[in-house]
């Protein structure tokens, strides 16, 4: 919906977009549909640079009797995107040591050896061989 107001044109509406990405935990592809609402004012004239309005770059403008909705829609959609998208709420991700999927091997673990004792580990290996 577009309304003519004193300062410009007020655009109000919603957009539905297809989102494609990858899970931040297991790196599997993610595809879903998302909606975002928009309400932006497209001003007839931008404030002069250095004037009282320091937010000149954040204003959308009416140029040649038309408006470009793409930047405003992009900003509205980006603000709705999750910071760390996941494929499922129960996603366990990948092993930090070897990169194996933790869902495929629930009992997956690595023996953690304190580096201060690593020299003694070599002695233990020699004793078991003798």
Average pLDDT score over the chain:
82
User: Both tokens of residue 102?
Assistant: 């933790």
pTM: 0.63
Which distant-in-sequence residues (6+ apart) come within 8 Å of 77 by Cβ? 15, 17, 34, 36
Whole-number Å distance between alpha carbons of 77 and 14: 10
| pLDDT for the residue 103 | 83
Three-state DSSP class for residue 95: coil
């Amino acid at each position: 919906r577009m309304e003519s107001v004193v300062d410009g044109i007020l655009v109000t509406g919603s957009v539905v977009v297809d989102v494609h990405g990858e899970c931040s935990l297991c790196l599997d592809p993610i595809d879903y549909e998302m909606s975002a609402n928009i309400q932006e004012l497209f001003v007839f004239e931008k404030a002069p640079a250095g004037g009282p309005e320091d937010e000149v770059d954040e204003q959308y403008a009416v140029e040649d009797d038309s408006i470009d909705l793409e930047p405003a829609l992009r900003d509205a959609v980006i603000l709705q995107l999750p910071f760390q998208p996941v494929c499922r709420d129960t996603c366990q991700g990948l092993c930090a040591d070897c990169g194996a999927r933790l869902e495929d091997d629930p009992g997956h673990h690595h023996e953690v050896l304190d580096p201060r004792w690593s020299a003694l580990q070599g002695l233990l290996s020699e004793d078991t061989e003798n």
